[in-house]
Amino acid sequence: MSSAAAIYPVEGVLLVSIRDDITDTDIVDLQDALSERIADESANGVVLDISGLEIVDTFVGRVLAQLTSIARLLDAETFVVGMRPAVAMTLVELGMYLPENRTALSLTHALAKMRQMRDE
Amino acid sequence: MPPSALENVLDILKTDQDGVLAGWIEVADEEGVKRSDLFSEREGREQAASLLKAFRNGISERTDKDDFDIQAEHWADLRGVLGEITHERVERGVQPSEMAGFVLALKGPLFSRLKERLAKKPEQLVEEILIASKAIDAFAIYTNEVFIAEREAVIERQREEMMELSTPVVELWSKVLTLPLIGTLDSLRAQEVMENLLQAIVHYQAEVVILDITGVQTVDTQVAQHLIRTAAAVRLMGAKCIISGISPKIAQTMVQLGVDVGEVRTRSTIRTALTDALLTVGYAITPIKNHQEGTLV
């Protein structure tokens, strides 16, 4: 796996940090690696930190939605955090509202929300 | 055919410029286009003289024989003078028809002189009058265009000012923002609203955003689409969006238009929206115990 994306285990969830220079191949690799990790560590949550991402296209948008669906099949809730205003506007412009994805402002918010969900 | 079909016009302008000028101003005055309340006689005379001079220069440099094109290079000088005069007069409140009338008044003195000169050559007379008339008409139309451009610049400036004034994002409570929308929501403004709102979410680390449309006069499919998109972008940023101020009438229109707001929360008043928003961030507005009416705590 390349350095364009890294997976860290935090509080029983997997934090995925995506850098701006991520390529399409990297994303496909990431999808692979992440599915393995979720299954191996039976993580119950995934946080995709895309605060480093400045440019998105439909491919990235689709992969974000796919990662969420994959994680859900493996019984893990996914949060997308740190989306930049420009990225949000672009995705909406492209018609990708990502209805499947849960979103949060930051990692802290996402972890709090996950804890809350678990408690309920 | 002589090299320049307007050679007599040119000659008149060269030899009798003062006469034409005096005649022009006289005709203009007679037709009531003189506005002594807006600019002095001397100014009017100076403007007319500079216009006439530019006209003369334009004709002498003229290369196109039959076609008259005001956008041609040799008319650049004249366009400049016309634009300047028009600009000055617009600022003083002269009407476009008056400005056009002023330019068209040049025809009278010019044509009467042409008639005297070419009395024995009716064919050439008609020819020159035709071309000169075409030219002067084009000048009048040009002043109108300048007028419209000036007005449009004013409208554009006002629109920009309105845009700046119209998208204030207010922090109501920590993590709660509101954006009161007023007036009409076109694509450009919707874009501005979305940009400001998303930036504010990052800045205030807001969790809930109330989009208040009490001040929006009409909601059509396009406006609804903008609202839904803004709400979607807010959600992607990780905040919640509540649309408030949906009047019964707007609710009816939206349903009739078949607008589906999806999962966006909607509230009829900003009051209920605020209660909702505060609840989301863990606060509640409660009455004070033993409160005395009128006391400031």
| Residue B44 three-state SS | helix
Helix and strand tally (H, E) in chain A?
4, 5
**Domain A5-110: which topology?**
Transcription Regulator spoIIAA (3.30.750)
B64 touches chain A (CB under 8 A): no
Percent of chain B past pLDDT 70, that is, above it, reads 90
According to DSSP, the β-strands at A102-104 and A77-81 are parallel
B201 contacts A106? CB cut-off 8 A: no
pLDDT band at B2 (very low <50, low <70, confident <90, very high): very low
Residue B42 pLDDT greater than 80, yes or no = no
Is there a contact between A103 and B238 (Cβ–Cβ < 8 Å)?
yes
How deeply is B79 buried, as exposed, middle or buried, from its count of CB atoms within 10 A (0-12, 13-18, 19+)?
A: middle
Separation of alpha carbons B14 and B56, rounded Å: 8
What integer is the mean pLDDT of B37-66?
73
Residue ranges covered by each domain of chain B: 7-162, 170-280
Reported as a single tens digit per residue, the pLDDT across A79-106 is: 999 999 999 999 998 888 888 888 999 8
Query: Which ipTM did the prediction report?
Result: 0.82
pLDDT at residue B85, as a whole number: 82
Is there a contact between B237 and B209 (Cβ–Cβ < 8 Å)?
no
DSSP class per residue in B216-231: E----HHHHHHHHHHH
pLDDT at residue B106, as a whole number: 82
Question: Which tokens is B253 given?
Answer: 């229109």
B198 touches chain A (CB under 8 A): yes
| Mean per-residue pLDDT over chain B, rounded | 81
DSSP B74: G
**Domain B170-280 class, CATH top level:** alpha beta
Reported as a single tens digit per residue, the pLDDT across A15-34 is: 999 888 788 888 888 888 99
pLDDT band at B35 (very low <50, low <70, confident <90, very high): low
Cβ-Cβ contacts under 8 Å between A and B: the total is 56
Reported as a single tens digit per residue, the pLDDT across B191-237 is: 888 998 999 999 999 999 999 998 887 888 888 888 888 999 999 99
What integer is the mean pLDDT of A36-53?
89
pLDDT at residue B200, as a whole number: 93
Chain A interface with B: residues with Cβ < 8 Å: 80-85, 87-89, 91-92, 97-99, 101, 103-106, 109-110
Q: In what order do the strands lie in the sheet with B170-173?
A: B170-173, B176-183, B208-216, B240-244, B265-266
Residue B297 pLDDT greater than 60, yes or no = no
Separation of alpha carbons A76 and A69, rounded Å: 9
Question: Which tokens is B27 given?
Answer: 């005709």
pLDDT band at B1 (very low <50, low <70, confident <90, very high): very low
Phi, psi of A6 (to 5 degrees): -130, 145
Residue ranges covered by each domain of chain A: 5-110
**Domain B7-162: which topology?**
Globin-like (1.10.490)
* Virtual torsion, Cα B187, A99, A31, A36, nearest 10 deg: 160
B61–chain A nearest CA distance, Å: 54
B263 contacts A92? CB cut-off 8 A: no
pLDDT at residue B212, as a whole number: 92
According to DSSP, the β-strands at A13-18 and A45-49 are parallel
pLDDT at residue B62, as a whole number: 66
- Strand ranges inside chain A, DSSP E: 5-10, 13-18, 45-49, 77-81, 102-104
Separation of alpha carbons B211 and B231, rounded Å: 9
